[in-house]
Amino acid sequence: MKRRILVVLFVALFNFLLIKGVNYSNKFIQDKNLMVYFNGKPDDKESSLPSEPKPVVIDEWNGEKKEAIASKLEKYFVDTYFEGYGEKITGSAINRNVDPYLIASIILVNSRCSTECQPFVRMCNNAGGTGGNPSCLGGKYKKYKDIEESFDDLVTYIKDNFISKDITSPYDMYKKYGKDTAWAFNVWKYYGLIKKG
């Protein structure tokens, strides 16, 4: 019986070490960008030298094409300060792995540009009401050189402070950010309307 237990433990340890070794080897090969040929020579079609990495182009979000999302945003931005920026907002969000519908909804709620824009939008190119320096007219809002820079900054802020911490819904965001429930409700309302198209 003891012998059988020792054999089972030995086999389990051996398998564990073997798997660990294979995983380490695979990680080493990937980290060093090495090419491994199992038949001892490179394929005729491939070079033995690693090629330059190709830039990753992300052109969809959850199976929906970037152009289709941008078009939906544009429909909702008609006659607002953000008309013509649907593609920029969509691209900025998707490239940082953030939901573009969420970003557009936050922009509309924080800026109030569906009716009349907050002063920080028109005077300081601040689409989302982000704070920081340089200060906008001496207040808490950040001044940007152009509105597109503001989109990128808002997406980065949402990514770093919420999405990367698994806070993805407006209701969870408002709890951390200190907004009221009306803010979360309005973000969800715009989210649904924009996504519906």
pLDDT score at 127: 86
How sure is the predictor about 162, in pLDDT bands with cuts at 50, 70 and 90? confident
Residue 15 has pLDDT above 60, yes or no: no
**H or E element, residue 144:** none
What is the percent of the chain where pLDDT is above 90? 3
- Dihedral sign computed on CA atoms, order 137, 140, 143, 147: negative
60-196 folds as Lysozyme (1.10.530)
Q: In the block, which residue shows the tokens 């965001």?
A: 173
Nearest-angstrom CA–CA distance, 131 and 129: 6
Residue 107 has pLDDT above 70, yes or no: yes
pLDDT score at 48: 47
- C-beta of residue 105 within 8 angstroms of C-beta of residue 173: no
pLDDT score at 132: 83
- Length reported for the chain: 197
- Dihedral sign computed on CA atoms, order 33, 39, 43, 47: positive
- For the segment 123-144, the average pLDDT, to the nearest whole number, is 84
Residue 50 in tokens: 């690693």
How sure is the predictor about 9, in pLDDT bands with cuts at 50, 70 and 90? low
Neighbours of 164 (CB within 10 A): 11
- The residues spanned by each domain of the chain are 1-53, 60-196
How sure is the predictor about 58, in pLDDT bands with cuts at 50, 70 and 90? low
pLDDT score at 40: 46
Among the listed ranges 6-10, 92-96, 173-177, which one has the minimum average pLDDT value? 6-10
Residue 16 has pLDDT above 70, yes or no: no
pLDDT score at 73: 85
- Dihedral sign computed on CA atoms, order 54, 63, 87, 143: negative
Q: Which of 12-16, 71-75, 180-184 has the highest average model confidence (pLDDT)?
A: 71-75
Q: What is the pTM of this model?
A: 0.67
Q: Which residues contact 170 (CB under 8 A, 6 or more apart)?
A: 102, 105, 106, 183, 184, 185, 187, 188, 191
Residue 64 in tokens: 């929906």
pLDDT score at 38: 40
Nearest-angstrom CA–CA distance, 91 and 97: 10
Neighbours of 173 (CB within 10 A): 21
Residue 140 in tokens: 């808490």
Mean pLDDT of all residues in the chain? Answer: 75
- For the segment 113-127, the average pLDDT, to the nearest whole number, is 80
